[in-house]
């Protein structure tokens, strides 16, 4: 069996980052007021990992507000429907850009480019 290429390793690293980000933070209590702070914490946590150059997390505060309208708690749990992510991975000179966005109600994670 051949060893993985650097491009394949870069894509693998993106998958590791998404798994960590998603499973670490889904379920976190969040409100529109705390969403920016939570997004920065998510970015910082994932950027600590090897080969991760940059992470951008955008939380849909309007969707949070709608979800909270129907709740007596004043907050809701973070799920994939409330945030989008972009990762930039650099592995041995190869850059992989990956993203997560809601597609047909599912938080789809994908590789956008490898160069």
Q: Enter the pTM of the model.
A: 0.92
Cross-strand pairs, 86: 56, 99
Tokens of 15: 């998958």
pLDDT band at 59 (very low <50, low <70, confident <90, very high): very high
Tokens of 92: 């041995």
Rounded Cα distance, 38 and 31, in Å = 10
Whether the pLDDT of residue 64 is over 90: the answer is yes
Mean model confidence pLDDT for the chain = 95
| Structural domains of the chain, with CATH | 6-114 (3.30.1300.20)
pLDDT (tens digit per residue) in 3-53: 999 999 999 999 999 999 999 999 999 999 999 999 999 999 999 999 999
């Amino acid at each position: 069996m051949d060893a993985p290429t650097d491009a394949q390793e870069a894509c693998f690293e993106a998958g590791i980052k998404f798994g960590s980000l998603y499973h670490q933070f889904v379920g976190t209590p969040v409100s529109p007021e705390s969403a920016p702070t939570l997004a920065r914490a998510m970015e910082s946590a994932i950027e600590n990992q090897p080969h991760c150059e940059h992470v951008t997390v955008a939380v849909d505060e309007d969707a949070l507000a709608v979800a909270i309208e129907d709740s007596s708690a004043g907050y809701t749990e973070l799920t994939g429907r409330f945030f989008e992510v972009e990762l930039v991975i650099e592995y041995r000179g190869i850059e992989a850009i990956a993203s997560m966005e809601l597609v047909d109600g599912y938080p789809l994670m994908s590789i956008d480019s490898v160069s």
